[in-house]
């Protein structure tokens, strides 16, 4: 009886055979393709900072043309055209990077291949492969930088890909596209515990995988060569340079000079470190006049070998070498965030007796440069005789009372740069003043040298550390005075700042911008990220349970912890699944069928627990003779979709849902 009823008139909408449904489901619809393009676009956007501008623009244009072509004509791009683009991409990468190997060219090539994959993505299988490939390339962005901002950006860029995968499912909801991002966010949240478990317990390598170098874009801004004008871009850069945590109260602001490089040699234009023989001597003698300061420095990647320490360092950890001029170097460049401990003195006498070789280096000047400055310095020597301190005070009085101004937009200088600055422009910043002061001292016969580093910083009272930004880069001088040794002199402090233009730390008044204050406060999160995540290396992993009486973890114990955590998580997931409400629909087809049963239930035709769908439909057709054709069509389609496929195709399920929504029971038998 039920079989004959179900074989009555066909469905009022086009019936989908299994072959037709498979073909329909394998072809991308407009929503899925739009989300796929968005996924590739987000991946490209994340990689733009470390990709050549021309390549980013070309890939963006190609992706836009592909979206326009697919949405207007849905034609196929010929294989020959895709092959030509592949050859052009490979040649362009080699021409730009001069090699196809390495992190930067490899990532650029992979990004180009991802866009080319989009050109041939027509079916669901292609879309799933493209999404998986984009996830792989997206993670490679963390090879360049692992800051909190970049990590959050990578996580957010995963959402379009997860939404795309949700749109490709047969039971994808028909609501707005934005609605697909909700389950995508849910997947990210659900995976967070497993990610945290893997982060803590997966054994760490003691060195980067495959010896991968640090980020190509790492920089410090403090170069070993300084000429007037070189620091301008650095002084308007608000990015962090280093963070310092003191064991006790920090020194006053006037003592926060962080020594990086000592520049001995002047060629008439720029200052440099000079000959290796000077730097390789033993540390100059130091007499302490006060207590010591111990602190930890977290230095951002610089790709340089020199480190920065509070003036002057006594000793340092991490294998750093203390040079003759009390600067710190290490054997390998700082290619990733470096942490090292230093002990420094802020009240001292440095080199009460000067070495003859160092004295000669501290008096070196090029011949036939800056004659007016040389004449001025010699006039001071004739006036003050052997009083070197008086000569230094005369130079500082010149900067204080000579009409000089601090200005980041200082005019360029000519061949005789010191003369042009002292007697012409009288505008500049720390490089100009430190260079001119050291030149005047040497011309007057006073040993002098230029020191480059950082001065000041923002004391974060919330987390008790000093944040030093790139904009705190500074240059000052040291002069050697008999009986006092090397004495720090900061000629820039003598200069009025009415033309203090375009700096990162404030406007013409020198006040700190309100947004920079909040940025400094937010840096607490960045420091926590650096210490807890970026700094979670093999050593910290092996000792993380020391407070619980386990001094050291071997890889076997880490593996046991990882396995235990996975078992616990799976058990919790199983409990949640077992306690899942039974009335919740399994998928879109089940949801549509429940809506149909609710409609029929309002007419007294409730489905019995022991009743299968075939018998239920047959009983309803007997009770509703006026709706028999529609019910027969609904029954055939439902049985075909539910029992004919492992996963019902999306389009027939949508058609069935529409038919259920439009169904109105008629002809009820009383």
Interval 537-547: pLDDT, tens: 776 777 777 77
CA 577/CA 187 separation, integer angstroms = 16
- Identify the top-confidence range among 229-238, 330-339, 473-482, 515-524: 473-482
Q: Do residues 473 and 329 both lie within one domain?
A: yes
Q: Do residues 549 and 640 both lie within one domain?
A: no
Percent of the chain topping pLDDT 70 = 85
**Catalytic residue of the set 430, 477, 520, 620:** 430
Q: Return the higher-pLDDT residue of 300 and 73.
A: 300
Rg (CA), the chain: 36
Q: Which residues contact 487 (CB under 8 A, 6 or more apart)?
A: 478, 479, 480, 481
365: its two tokens: 């000047």
Quick one: pLDDT band at residue 113, thresholds 50, 70, 90? very high
399: its two tokens: 């900067």
pLDDT in tens, 582-641: 555 567 888 888 888 888 888 888 888 888 888 998 998 888 888 888 989 999 999 888
pLDDT, residue 23, reads 44
pLDDT, residue 509, reads 37
Instruction: Determine which helix (DSSP H) or strand (DSSP E) holds 69, and give its type and residue range.
Output: helix 53-72
CA 253/CA 250 separation, integer angstroms = 9
pLDDT, residue 246, reads 93
pLDDT, residue 364, reads 93
From 210-214, 223-227, 297-301, 321-325, the region with the lowest mean pLDDT: 210-214
Q: Return the higher-pLDDT residue of 511 and 563.
A: 563
CA 263/CA 271 separation, integer angstroms = 6
Q: How far is CA 415 from the centre of its chain?
A: 41
State the helix-helix crossing angle for 103-119 and 79-97, rounded to 10 degrees: 160
Please report whether residue 526 resides in a domain. Answer: no
pLDDT, residue 124, reads 87
Mean pLDDT calculated for residue range 648-659: 85
pLDDT, residue 22, reads 46
Q: Is the pLDDT of residue 498 over 50?
A: no
DSSP 444-499: TT--EEEEEEEE--EEETTTTEEEEEGGGEEEEEEEEETTTEEEEE-GGGGSB-TT
Please report whether residue 218 resides in a domain. Answer: no
Q: Among 547, 578, 609, give the residue marking a domain's end.
A: 578
**Residue-number span of the structural domain to which 648 is assigned:** 587-662
**Catalytic residue of the set 325, 474, 477, 530:** 474
Quick one: pLDDT band at residue 230, thresholds 50, 70, 90? confident
Q: Is the pLDDT of residue 48 over 50?
A: yes
530 has catalytic annotation:
no
pLDDT in tens, 411-428: 888 899 999 999 999 998
CA 215/CA 269 separation, integer angstroms = 31
Q: Do residues 283 and 416 both lie within one domain?
A: yes
Report yes or no on whether pTM surpasses 0.85.
no
From 109-113, 407-411, 614-618, the region with the lowest mean pLDDT: 407-411
Q: Do residues 274 and 338 both lie within one domain?
A: yes
Please report whether residue 192 resides in a domain. Answer: no
pLDDT, residue 553, reads 79
Q: Return the higher-pLDDT residue of 27 and 132.
A: 132
189: its two tokens: 């949240």
pLDDT, residue 10, reads 47
Q: Is the pLDDT of residue 670 over 70?
A: no
Quick one: pLDDT band at residue 479, thresholds 50, 70, 90? very high
Is residue 663 left, alpha or beta, with left meaning phi > 0 and alpha meaning psi from -120 to 50? beta
Please report whether residue 503 resides in a domain. Answer: yes
620 has catalytic annotation:
no
Q: Catalogue the long-range contacts made by 660-664 (C-beta closer than 8 Å, 24 or more residues apart).
A: 660/592, 660/593, 660/595, 660/596, 660/599, 660/634, 661/595, 663/596, 663/599, 663/627, 663/630, 663/634, 664/627
Strand partners, 263: 450
Please report whether residue 377 resides in a domain. Answer: yes
186-220 CB burial, b ≥16 within 10 A, e <16: eeeeeeeeeeebeeebeebeeeeeeeeebbeebbb
Q: Do residues 603 and 517 both lie within one domain?
A: no
Q: Is the pLDDT of residue 486 over 60?
A: yes
CA 85/CA 120 separation, integer angstroms = 12
Please report whether residue 19 resides in a domain. Answer: no
Quick one: pLDDT band at residue 389, thresholds 50, 70, 90? very high
Please report whether residue 50 resides in a domain. Answer: yes
Strands 306-307 and 348-350: unpaired
Instruction: Determine which helix (DSSP H) or strand (DSSP E) holds 418, and give its type and residue range.
Output: helix 417-420
DSSP code of 123?
Answer: B
Q: Do residues 272 and 149 both lie within one domain?
A: no
Quick one: pLDDT band at residue 74, thresholds 50, 70, 90? low
Q: What is the mean pLDDT of the chain?
A: 83
Q: Is the pLDDT of residue 140 over 50?
A: yes
Q: Is the pLDDT of residue 18 over 60?
A: no
Helical H runs in 140-251? Answer: 148-167, 181-201
Mean pLDDT calculated for residue range 130-148: 88
- The SS3 of residue 243 is strand
Q: Is the pLDDT of residue 520 over 50?
A: yes
- The SS3 of residue 506 is strand
Q: Return the higher-pLDDT residue of 204 and 64.
A: 64
How far, in Å, are 194, 292, 570 from residue 567 at the CA level? 11, 52, 5
pLDDT, residue 206, reads 58
Q: Do residues 494 and 638 both lie within one domain?
A: no
Q: Do residues 101 and 36 both lie within one domain?
A: yes
From 62-66, 250-254, 527-531, the region with the lowest mean pLDDT: 527-531
CA 160/CA 69 separation, integer angstroms = 21
Mean pLDDT calculated for residue range 380-398: 95
Q: Do residues 274 and 164 both lie within one domain?
A: no
Q: Do residues 146 and 262 both lie within one domain?
A: no
Please report whether residue 219 resides in a domain. Answer: no
Q: Is the pLDDT of residue 193 over 80?
A: yes
Mean pLDDT calculated for residue range 309-316: 89
- The SS3 of residue 503 is strand
Q: Do residues 411 and 312 both lie within one domain?
A: yes
pLDDT in tens, 437-454: 999 999 999 999 999 999
Q: Is the pLDDT of residue 142 over 90?
A: no
From 15-19, 84-88, 107-111, the region with the lowest mean pLDDT: 15-19
Cβ pair 348, 287 in contact under 8 A: yes
Quick one: pLDDT band at residue 433, thresholds 50, 70, 90? very high
**Catalytic residue of the set 370, 490, 523, 530:** 490
474 has catalytic annotation:
yes
Quick one: pLDDT band at residue 496, thresholds 50, 70, 90? low
Per the structure, how many domains does the chain have? 4
pLDDT, residue 211, reads 42
pLDDT in tens, 584-594: 556 788 888 88
Mean pLDDT calculated for residue range 48-52: 88
CA angle at residue 497 from 390 to 237, to 5 degrees? 115
From 64-68, 209-213, 501-505, 558-562, the region with the lowest mean pLDDT: 501-505
pLDDT, residue 371, reads 95
Cβ pair 20, 643 in contact under 8 A: no
Mean pLDDT calculated for residue range 314-323: 81
Q: Do residues 45 and 124 both lie within one domain?
A: yes
């Amino acid at each position: 009886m039920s079989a004959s009823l179900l074989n009555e008139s066909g469905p009022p909408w086009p019936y989908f055979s299994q072959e037709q449904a498979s073909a329909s489901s394998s072809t991308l619809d407009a929503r899925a393709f739009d989300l796929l393009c968005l996924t590739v676009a987000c991946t490209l956007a994340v990689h733009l900072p470390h990709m050549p501008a021309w390549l980013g623009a070309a890939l963006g244009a190609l992706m836009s043309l592909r979206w326009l072509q697919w949405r207007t004509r849905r034609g196929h791009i010929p294989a020959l055209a895709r092959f030509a683009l592949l050859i052009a991409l490979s040649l362009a990468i080699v021409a730009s990077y001069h090699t196809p190997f390495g992190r930067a060219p490899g990532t650029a090539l992979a990004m180009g291949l991802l866009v080319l994959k989009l050109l041939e993505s027509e079916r669901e299988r292609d879309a799933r492969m493209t999404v998986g490939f984009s996830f792989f390339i997206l993670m490679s962005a963390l090879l360049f930088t692992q800051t909190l901002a970049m990590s959050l950006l990578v996580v957010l860029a995963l959402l379009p890909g997860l939404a795309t995968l949700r749109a490709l499912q047969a039971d994808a909801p028909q609501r707005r596209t934005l609605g697909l991002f909700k389950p995508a966010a849910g997947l990210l949240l659900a995976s967070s515990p497993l990610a945290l478990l893997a982060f803590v317990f997966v054994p760490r390598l003691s060195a980067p995988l495959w010896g991968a170098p640090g980020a190509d874009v790492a920089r410090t801004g403090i170069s070993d060569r300084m000429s007037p004008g070189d620091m301008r871009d650095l002084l308007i850069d608000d990015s962090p340079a280093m963070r310092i945590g003191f064991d006790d109260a920090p020194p006053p602001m006037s003592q926060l000079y962080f020594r990086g490089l000592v520049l001995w040699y002047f060629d008439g234009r720029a200052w440099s470190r000079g000959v290796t023989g000077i730097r390789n001597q033993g540390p100059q003698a130091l007499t302490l006049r006060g207590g010591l300061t111990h602190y930890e420095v977290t230095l951002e990647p610089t790709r340089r070998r020199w480190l920065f320490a509070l003036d002057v360092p006594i000793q340092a950890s991490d294998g750093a070498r203390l040079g003759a001029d009390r600067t710190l170097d290490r054997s390998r460049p700082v290619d990733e965030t470096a942490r090292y401990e230093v002990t420094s003195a802020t009240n001292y006498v440095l080199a009460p007796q000067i070495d003859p070789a160092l004295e000669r280096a501290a008096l070196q000047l090029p011949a036939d440069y800056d004659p007016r400055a040389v004449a001025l310095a010699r006039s001071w020597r004739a006036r003050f005789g052997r009083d070197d301190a008086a000569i230094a005070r005369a130079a500082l009085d010149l900067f204080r009372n000579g009409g000089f101004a601090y200005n980041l937009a200082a005019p360029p200088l000519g061949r005789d740069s010191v003369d042009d600055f002292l007697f012409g422009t009288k505008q500049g910043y720390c490089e100009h003043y430190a260079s001119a002061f050291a030149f005047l001292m040497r011309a007057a016969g006073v040993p002098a040298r230029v020191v480059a580093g950082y001065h000041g910083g923002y004391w974060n009272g919330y987390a008790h550390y000093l944040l030093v930004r790139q904009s705190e880069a500074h240059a000052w001088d040291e002069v050697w005075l008999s009986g006092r040794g090397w004495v720090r002199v900061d000629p820039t402090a003598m200069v009025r700042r009415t033309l203090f233009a375009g700096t990162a730390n404030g406007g013409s008044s020198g006040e700190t911008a309100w947004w920079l204050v909040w940025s400094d406060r937010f840096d607490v999160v960045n420091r926590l990220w650096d210490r807890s995540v970026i700094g979670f290396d093999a050593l910290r992993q092996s000792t993380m349970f020391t407070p619980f009486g386990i001094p050291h973890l071997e890889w076997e114990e880490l593996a046991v912890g990882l396995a235990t955590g996975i078992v616990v998580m799976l058990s919790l997931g199983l409990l949640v699944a077992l306690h899942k409400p039974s009335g919740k629909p399994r998928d879109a087809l089940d949801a549509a069928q429940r809506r149909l049963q609710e409609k029929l239930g309002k007419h007294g035709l409730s489905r019995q627990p022991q009743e299968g769908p075939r018998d239920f439909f047959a009983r309803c057709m007997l009770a509703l003779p006026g709706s028999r054709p529609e019910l027969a069509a609904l029954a055939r389609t439902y049985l075909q979709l539910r029992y004919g496929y492992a996963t019902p195709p999306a389009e027939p399920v949508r058609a069935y849902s529409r038919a259920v929504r439009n169904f109105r029971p008629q002809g009820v038998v009383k």
